[in-house]
Structure 1
Amino acid sequence: MFRKTSLSAIAFAVLAASLTATAEAAEPGLVLTLPAPTGPHRVGVTTLHLVDADRPDPWPDAGGGPREVMASVHYPALDVRGHPVAPQLTPGAAAALPVVAPRVYPNLPPSGVDWAATLTHSHVDAPARPVRRPVVLYSPGLVDPRAFGTTTAEELASRGYVVVTIDHPGETFTVDLPTRPRFVALPGDPSTDPRLYRDVIATRLADTDFVLDQLAVLASGGNPDAGGRALPRHLGRALDLDRVGVYGQGLGGTIAAEAMYEDTDRRIDAAINLEGLLDYHPEQPGQDGELLPVARHGVDRPLLLVGTERFQNDRYRRAWSAVLAHGCARQHVIAGANHWALTDFAATAPQLHAAGLMDDAELAAMVGTLDPATAIRTVRRHVVSFFDHHLR
């Protein structure tokens, strides 16, 4: 969730970072690790560059061109030999993070970390197991890259899901498109501009619907990648689009809940909102914002709301209580945790703290006081058990 300086200032900072990335890449720093998934399957991963020729991109830097979306697909792998594991962050995101951190993630250290060195447990372009699997989409928080949701995505894939994590260009601090890097370029700050906040939500909902369309192309034997890049063997045969879930953190959680509400074709069977707001920003200070349709009317399919004790406030409680009153939704608030414990920072922030790069207050402000191993297990358990119950 973005709460800092203007997004245009971040765009200029990221651009400056890209110009000096080569010189800084060799600077040594702490190498962070991600927890291994616990399911029985090895995990493969591939990247999709998706272009919606029928929809112009709404953000200024796109110049009216078609909307582009980047996605990673994590899946149970048939054989990982000869397929190296992927880094958590793309080169562009790793170079930009130290520069945007003071503005977007002020509790992260501005130096001393080799962000490019963090490896996942997913093997690049490994062949997929040719067995139909439930498909789950993931949308990250505002400004966040999809990579910050790697730990949960890999856990789901290791347990037999195909997980599609989505970057939303123009609002993510950096997205490495095949042709160019694209920086955050929103014409203002959605956390203070109610109209822009609505536009961001509408764009993300359209992105989610478009990705589902492209997955249908893949499942039917086509290749939706805009560049026609060769995809992992059997990948299309691994998708069961009769069993689809969606989840997200922060603004991505808002999108997960609202996408299922607006899914009149009933392609989405279940959704998890990891601490996303369910109302619009108020037009005037001191007012309550209008509830999102999902909160006003509820849903007729399963919805799980997961929050953290140290981040919840009256705004969350008001909107979440509204959707819970309609049935088909339930909630769980994780004691002792804070907002970023719902992301990969549950694993990496304690490593920064142990290395002296983050103090006690900064650690608590990011992930809370809950034991890191407990936080990771708790989030995994809620996400996996919910989708197991409703998609299997």
Structure 2
Amino acid sequence: MRGMSHVHVYPDAPGPARPSRRAVTVSAVLGAFLVASGADVAAARTASADILLRLPAPTGPHPVGLTTWYLVDRSRRDPWDGTIPVRELVATVFYPARGVRRHPPAPQLAPVAAAVFGALAPYQHPGLPVAGVDWAATMTHAHQDAPAAPARRPVLLHSPGGGDPRGFGAGLAQDLASHGFVVVTVDHPGDALVVEFPGTTEYRGDVVRTTAFREDPRSNPATFDTMISTRIADLRFVLDQVEVLAGGGNPDATGRALPTGLARAVDPRRVGVYGHSAGGTAVAQATYDDRRMDAAIDLEGYLDHPGERPGEPGRLFPVAEYGVNRPLLLWGTDGFPDRAGMERSWQPMLAHPGGWTRRRELRDAAHWAFTDFAAFAPQLQAAGLMTADARTALVGAIEPARSVPTVRTGVREFFACHLGT
């Protein structure tokens, strides 16, 4: 409710049997999108049992812990919903663990978020199956709230692609953590396809929130500008909370207990940022704006605003116009459909003197090869749930045996070079 205090109200205590708020939410969201899209559920492919998608295991020497933060920035209103007087965020922290005994592996997506994702993802990514996948069953190789290893580690912030939930960067994040980094993956509510919160509040009556986007944000300059500026502010606020943690405080707005040793595991003097697509745009500009960010990787994100009319060039972001005096890697794919548009913004960035900006290209690949879809799309194709053409459009023809280690190694070596481990 608008204008009310910021006291958090959590789901009702058990009472007489009735449909749960979560069940109603999922049904309502699924129904609304299916009706709006005219989808024929009866025509969707079904299987005797939903398949389980698997994430590749981490390759580093450290076991991995994981914890989730609910963060509230009371200095900002939500840009996508005028009834929310604060900016709420949810983040997952992956970190090297001291041990993982009696700490179970954590799922890639929270249960309700997984159900909503399964309903909505085929409309965000045409070619994904409308049925036949148990999205809630995919587990990470990170263990819930395991004690952190006792050493200061570089911190990496991750911003996912436009509409993508933070969970689809879990494979890379857990691998980085296994090699000695603390990685904070951030959901951007109202932007992300679905975000699951720990409870309701007086101004948000549901535990899930779905995307506000009904079109490609790049097609609307005002929407795109709001998306990127919001993500930059989100990242800077999350970094503020990392500093709170390093100072012995608890960033979680619910006061949820932190894993043992986590406050002593972060080094806020060594910070890197990486992001995919819109997340790549945001981390590059955030590095220009915030001196605390020491190095950045833009995984195929534009560095200019969209033009006011289709086909018109837009103005460059300041990071591309003026350059930055910290390491920045621009990493794209050969299968990106708007290569000319990307070049328009990347070439000015690369032309700045000093050698701070470099570029790479992933061959035989497409845009989402930088996400967990790199591993999932071939599994879906093998199960008959995705066509070869749809798989190629999503991640390219590249096999995960090549794409996954190439991206993992490239990101890890870049940050190890500039931040240490």
Q: For 1:133, which of 113, 137, 153 is the aligned residue?
A: 153
Q: Does structure 2 retain, via aligned residues, the 8 Å contact 1:42–1:158?
A: yes
| Cα displacement string for residues 54-94 of structure 1 (whole angstroms, at most 9, x for unaligned residues) | 1111112x504210110000000001000000111111221
1:362 equivalent in alignment to 2:390: yes
Which whole-Å CA distance do the structure 1 matches of 2:28 and 2:340 have between them? 37
Q: Distance in 2 between matches of 1:255 and 1:157?
A: 22
Query: Could you say what secondary structure the match of 1:55 adopts?
Result: coil
Q: Conserved in 2, the CA contact under 8 Å of 1:92 and 1:175?
A: no
Q: C-alpha distance in 1, partners of 2:138/2:163?
A: 20
Q: Deviations over 1:234-266 (max 9, x none)?
A: 001000011000001111111111110111xx1
The aligned runs of 1:312-323 (5 Å cut-off) are 313-323=339-349
| Counterpart check, 1:116 vs 2:136 | yes
| Residues 30, 164 of structure 1: alpha-carbon distance in 2 compared, 3 angstrom cutoff | same
Asked if the contact 1:59–1:186 (Cα under 8 Å) also holds between the matched residues in 2, the reply is: no
The offset of 1:145, in angstroms, is 0.4
Counterparts of residues 206-355 of structure 1 (less than 5 Å): 206-263=233-290, 266-311=291-336, 313-326=339-352, 327-355=355-383
> How far 1:38 moved relative to its partner?
0.3
Query: SS of the counterpart of 1:191?
Result: helix
> Is the contact between residue 53 and residue 138 of structure 2 (CA under 8 Å) also seen in structure 1?
yes
**Counterpart among 119, 125, 130 of residue 105 in structure 1:** 125
Runs of 4+ in 1 over 2 A off after TM superposition: 12-20, 185-189
Which residue number in structure 2 is paired with residue 383 of structure 1? 411
Query: Per the alignment, do residues 18 and 137 of structure 1 end up closer, same or farther by CA in structure 2, a change over 3 Å counting?
Result: farther
Q: Secondary structure at the match of 1:56?
A: coil
CA deviation after TM superposition for structure 1 residue 196, in Å: 1.4
CA change 1:178–1:286 in 2 (3 A) is: same
- Conserved? CA contact 1:92–1:174, under 8 Å: no
Q: 2:52 aligns with which of 19, 26, 31?
A: 31
Q: Tell me the distance in 2 between the aligned counterparts of 1:188 and 1:63.
A: 22
User: Matches of 2:260 and 2:32 in 1, distance apart?
Assistant: 37
Q: Aligned in 2, Cα 1:250/1:13: closer, same or farther, shift over 3 Å?
A: farther
Give the conservation status (yes or no) of the 8 Å contact 1:129–1:238: yes
**Cα pair 1:59 1:187 within 8 Å, conserved:** no
Identify if the C-alpha distance between structure 1 residues 18 and 50 changes in structure 2 by more than 3 Å, giving closer, same or farther: farther
Residue of structure 2 equivalent to 1:17: 30
Distance 1:84 1:13 in 2: 26
Alignment check: 8 A CA contact 2:333 2:364 kept: yes
Distance in 2 between the 1:194 and 1:177 partners?
29
The aligned amino acid for 2:174 is E
CA distance change for structure 1 residues 338 and 189 in 2, over 3 Å: closer, same or farther?
Answer: closer
1:198 pairs with one of 225, 231, 244: 225
Q: Are 1:56 and 2:77 an aligned pair? A: yes
Partners of 1:140 and 1:166 within 8 A in 2: yes
Report the equivalent of 1:144.
164
Taking the aligned partners of 1:138 and 1:146, their CA distance within structure 2 comes to 8
Distance 1:227 1:109, change over 3 A: same
Report if aligned partners of 1:45, 1:126 keep a CA contact under 8 Å in 2: yes
What is the match of residue 202 of structure 2? Answer: none
Give the corresponding residue for 1:9. Answer: none
Contact 2:113 2:208 in 1 (8 A): no
Once the two structures are TM-superposed, the CA of residue 137 in structure 1 deviates from its matched residue by 0.2
- Does 2:204 correspond to 1:178? no
Cα distance between partner residues in 2 of 1:176 and 1:149: 16
How much has 1:100 moved relative to structure 2?
1.2
CA distance in 1, matches of 2:403, 2:156: 22
Compared CA separation, residues 325 and 76, structure 1 to 2 (3 A): same
In 1, Cα distance between the equivalents of 2:284 and 2:211? Answer: 24
1:337-390 deviation digits (Å, cap 9, x = unpaired): 111110001111100011111111111111111121100011011100100100
Structure with larger Rg: 2
- State whether residues 14 and 173 of structure 1, in contact with CA within 8 Å, keep that contact through their aligned partners in structure 2: no
User: By how many angstroms is 1:13 displaced?
Assistant: 8.9
> Please, what TM-score do these two structures have when normalized by structure 1?
0.92
Q: Look up the match of 1:23.
A: none
- Once the 2 structures are TM-superposed, how far is the Cα of residue 98 of structure 1 from its aligned partner? 2.5
Please state how far the C-alpha of 1:113 moved relative to its aligned partner.
0.6
Q: TM-score, normalised by structure 2?
A: 0.86
- Give, in angstroms, the shift of residue 17 of structure 1: 2.4
* Overall identity of the aligned pairs, in %: 54
Q: Which residue of 2 aligns with 1:24?
A: none
Amino acid at match of 1:176: E
